[in-house]
C-alpha cells in the first residue's frame, strides 16, 4: 500500500481538511454503515464490500475499491470520508519497534506504537489525546489532559499502521493493547464502538484494555456481552503509596478496585493482568512483593512487572531498581504461586516505551509539588 497521508483524498477534491464536510465512515459498525450510506449504495451488500475493503484489505480510499463500479466510487468519495489520521512523524527504533505520531483533524497529536515480537505483532493504541489522571510516573500525564478520541480516530490508528506494513496485513497474529496515551475507561463509548469494528480484524481475546482502575468503568465493561482482556495498573501494594503516585486512588481506593475485579466475569482460563511498576526504593522491597501477594489473594491474575522507564520530566526518583532486585521481586511472587513476568523495554531509544508517550508542542502541566516526594 501507499504511504501517502490520508490528506491526499481531501487534496483530490480541492478542499482543505477543515472544510471537509463529508461524513466519516471509519469506525461505524456494519449496521450503522448501511444506514449512513443510505441511498448512495444501491444494495446493502455494498456496505459489506466496503467493510471488507477497509478492514480486511486495508484500503482507505474509495478509488482503490475496484469491486465497486466507477460511478459508485466517485459518489462515495464526494459524500463520505475514510479519515485515517495523518502520519506526522515516524520513529523506527533499533529493536524493530516503530513509534508513530498522528495529527488529527483539529491539530491534536497522538502516538501509537507498533511492536513486532517473535512472530506476532502488538499495536499499542491511544484512547485520548493527553490524559487527565496525572500519575507521577507517566509522561503523558505530565503533559496534561487532552480530549477523548472518536471511534474513527481509534480505529484509524490501527489502519494507518497496517497500511504502512508491507502488503497491508502482515501474516503474523495481531494483538491490540490500549496502553497508549489516555485512560480508555474515561472514553468508554468510543472504546466500545471502536472495538466492535476492530474485532473484524482481531479477536476479542487478542485485545487488552489497560486502566488505572476507574471502578464504575470496570463495572460497565463487565456488563458488556463481549469483553476484551483487562489489565489494571496497580503499581503499589497499599493505599498510602498508591495515593502518592496515582491521584485516582483517592477516588477509587484499593478495596473498591479489588472488589470490582473480584466480580469481573472471566472466560475459562482467562486472567486479569495486574501491571506493577517497579520504582527503586519505593515499592520494590521483598516485603512489598509479599504485601502485593496478600492484597491479590486468590484473584485470577497474572502479574506483569514493569521496571519504570525514567524520563527527565519525571524527576530523579523515578528510576528502575537494579535487575537483581527486579528478579527477586518476581521470584517472591512466583513462590506465592503467581504467574509473574517482567516486561522488557521496547523502543526506548525513540521514547516509545511505556509512559513515555507525549504529544509534542504543548505546554506541560507539571505535577503538583509533593506528589513526587517520598
Which residue lies nearer to ligand SAH by CB, 58 or 347? 347
The residue at minimum Cβ distance from ligand SAH is 355
How near is the Cβ of 308 to ligand SAH at its closest, in Å? 4
Least CB distance to ligand SAH at residue 204 (A) = 18
Residue with smaller CB distance to ligand SAH, 7 or 279: 279
> Using CB under 6 A as the criterion, which residues of the chain lie in contact with ligand SAH when the complex forms?
137-138, 179, 183, 210-212, 233, 275, 277, 306, 308-309, 354-355
* Candidate list 124, 131, 135, 354, residue with the active-site label: 354
Residue 19 a catalytic site member: no
> Which of 211, 193, 204, 194 is CA-nearest to residue 228?
204
Instruction: Output 55 or 329, the one with its CB closest to ligand SAH.
Output: 329
| Residue in 24, 87, 111, 153 annotated catalytic | 111
Q: Among this protein's residues, is 35 annotated catalytic?
A: no
Q: How far is CA 45 from the centre of its chain?
A: 32
- Closest CB to ligand SAH among residues 34, 212: 212
CB of 136 to ligand SAH, least distance (A): 9
CA neighbor of 359 nearest in space, from 177, 6, 106: 106
Least Cα distance to 133 among 150, 116, 146 occurs for 146
Query: Least separation, in Å, of the C-beta of 345 and ligand SAH?
Result: 8
Enzyme catalytic residues:
111, 354
Amino acid at each position: 500500500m501507499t504511504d501517502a497521508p490520508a490528506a491526499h483524498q481531501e487534496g483530490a477534491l480541492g478542499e482543505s481538511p477543515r472544510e471537509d464536510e463529508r461524513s466519516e465512515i471509519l469506525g461505524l459498525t456494519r449496521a450503522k454503515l448501511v444506514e449512513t450510506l443510505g441511498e448512495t449504495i444501491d444494495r446493502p451488500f455494498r456496505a459489506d464490500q466496503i467493510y471488507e475493503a477497509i478492514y480486511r484489505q486495508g484500503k482507505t480510499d474509495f478509488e482503490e475499491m475496484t469491486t465497486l463500479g466507477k460511478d459508485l466510487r466517485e459518489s462515495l468519495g464526494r459524500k463520505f470520508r475514510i479519515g485515517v489520521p495523518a502520519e506526522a512523524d515516524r520513529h523506527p527504533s533499533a529493536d524493530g519497534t516503530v513509534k508513530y505520531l498522528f495529527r488529527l483533524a483539529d491539530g491534536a497529536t497522538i502516538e501509537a506504537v507498533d511492536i513486532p515480537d517473535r512472530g506476532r505483532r502488538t499495536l499499542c493504541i491511544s484512547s485520548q489525546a493527553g490524559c487527565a489522571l496525572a500519575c507521577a510516573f507517566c509522561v503523558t500525564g505530565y503533559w496534561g489532559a487532552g480530549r477523548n478520541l472518536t471511534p474513527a480516530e481509534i480505529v484509524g490508528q490501527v489502519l494507518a499502521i497496517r497500511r504502512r506494513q508491507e502488503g497491508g496485513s502482515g501474516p503474523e497474529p495481531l494483538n491490540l493493547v490500549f496502553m497508549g496515551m489516555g485512560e480508555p475507561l474515561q472514553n468508554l463509548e468510543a472504546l466500545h464502538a471502536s472495538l466492535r469494528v476492530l474485532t473484524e480484524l482481531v479477536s476479542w481475546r487478542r485485545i487488552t484494555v489497560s486502566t488505572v482502575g476507574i471502578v464504575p468503568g470496570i463495572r460497565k465493561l463487565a456488563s458488556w456481552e463481549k469483553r476484551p482482556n483487562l489489565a489494571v495498573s496497580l503499581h503499589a501494594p497499599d493505599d498510602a503509596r498508591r495515593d502518592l503516585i496515582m491521584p485516582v486512588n483517592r477516588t477509587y481506593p484499593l478495596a473498591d478496585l479489588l472488589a470490582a475485579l473480584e466480580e469481573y466475569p472471566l472466560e475459562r482460563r482467562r486472567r486479569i493482568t495486574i501491571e506493577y511498576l517497579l520504582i527503586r526504593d519505593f515499592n520494590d522491597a521483598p516485603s512489598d512483593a509479599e504485601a502485593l501477594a496478600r492484597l491479590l489473594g486468590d484473584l485470577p491474575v497474572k502479574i506483569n512487572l514493569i521496571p519504570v522507564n525514567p524520563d527527565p520530566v519525571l524527576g530523579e526518583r523515578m528510576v528502575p531498581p537494579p535487575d537483581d532486585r527486579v528478579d527477586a521481586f518476581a521470584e517472591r511472587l512466583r513462590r506465592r504461586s503467581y504467574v509473574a513476568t517482567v516486561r522488557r523495554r521496547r523502543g526506548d531509544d525513540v521514547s516509545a516505551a511505556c509512559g513515555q508517550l507525549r504529544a509534542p508542542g504543548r505546554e506541560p502541566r507539571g505535577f503538583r509539588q509533593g506528589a513526587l516526594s517520598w
